[in-house]
Amino acid sequence: MHTRFERSGPLTELASYPQWAQDMVGDCEDTRRRVLGHEIWARMIALELDEPSTHNFMAGLWPFIERFPSYMALNLLKTRYGRSPGDDMARRWLVRNIRVEQNHAEYWLNWAEGAGVSRDDLLHKPAPAGTDGLYRWCEEISEQGTLAAGMVATNYAIEGATGDWSHMIYESEKYRESFAPEVRASSLRWLHLHAAYDDTHPWEALEIVCTLMGTRPAPADVAHLRECIERSYMCMILLGDRCIRTHHELPLLREVAA
């Protein structure tokens, strides 16, 4: 039996959500910390990310960035107006935020260009081998999963973690000032936006998921949502590993060459 959830506390406080959701978020916290503690962010902030790794990052994430509105559209197709409060809430939110996302691909291209990666590389060349796990997973769960699973994997897990690492990088004065003054604002627009609006986006997605699931969902359904969150985080970790692999391979290659 579905027991309706209606949030009564603040949007951005975990205690405002059902106990199952609090437990789910807590169970995934260690993996989320691995995303945010990944070596790639520290290297980027310290301006120690080499050219191959910067290219891998910008080009490897590009398919995900470019397709993100499509994942939301696939989830939108699962809604039916008037079927449930959760459906109606998801429908309104997805329609509104698909429009918000429409310019973000262009902002990513501007960031890449400012970081020394050409627009042509991203638009016309294949992404680096081994960087496709994240966008393939998002496409799979958004197309084949439930509405709750699709949103928890993309709009909650990935947008939430992305907002956090974007904030870390954007808050670095050293990183911001590494861009020429004449292109700084346009190059950093993607980071600025995601460091700002992603503060609330994942919480709004979590509220929708809880509204869809109710206060007492089946344990198996909760376990599946937790697995979706964990997989999203792991895809981000593995993508980061692939992007900086050159940092660990180059010293070995030089040693072998010597």
**Which CATH number fits the domain that encloses residue 229?**
1.20.910.10
140 inside domain: yes
pTM of the model: 0.93
pLDDT digits (tens, 9 = 90+) for 190-229: 999 998 755 789 999 999 999 999 999 999 999 999 999 9
Asked if residue 24 belongs to a domain, the reply is no
Answer whether residue 154 is part of any domain.
yes
Angle 235-111-35 from CA coordinates, rounded to 5°: 25
Q: Is residue 16 part of a domain?
A: no
For 190-200, what is each residue's pLDDT tens digit? 999 998 755 78
- Within a domain: residue 9? no
With residue 125 as reference, give the H or E element that holds it.
none
Report if residue 116 sits inside a domain.
Answer: yes
- Would you say 154 and 72 are in contact if contact means Cβ atoms under 8 Å apart? yes
In a 13 Å sphere around the CA of 8, the CA atoms on its Cβ side amount to 4
Q: Is 192 part of any domain?
A: yes
Question: Would you say residue 248 has pLDDT above 70?
Answer: no
Domain extent for 87:
39-257
Decide if 11 is inside a domain: no
Is pLDDT above 60 for 252? no
Number of domains observed in the structure of the chain: 1
Looking at residue 246, its pLDDT comes to 66
Cα(first)–Cα(last) distance of the chain, in Å?
69
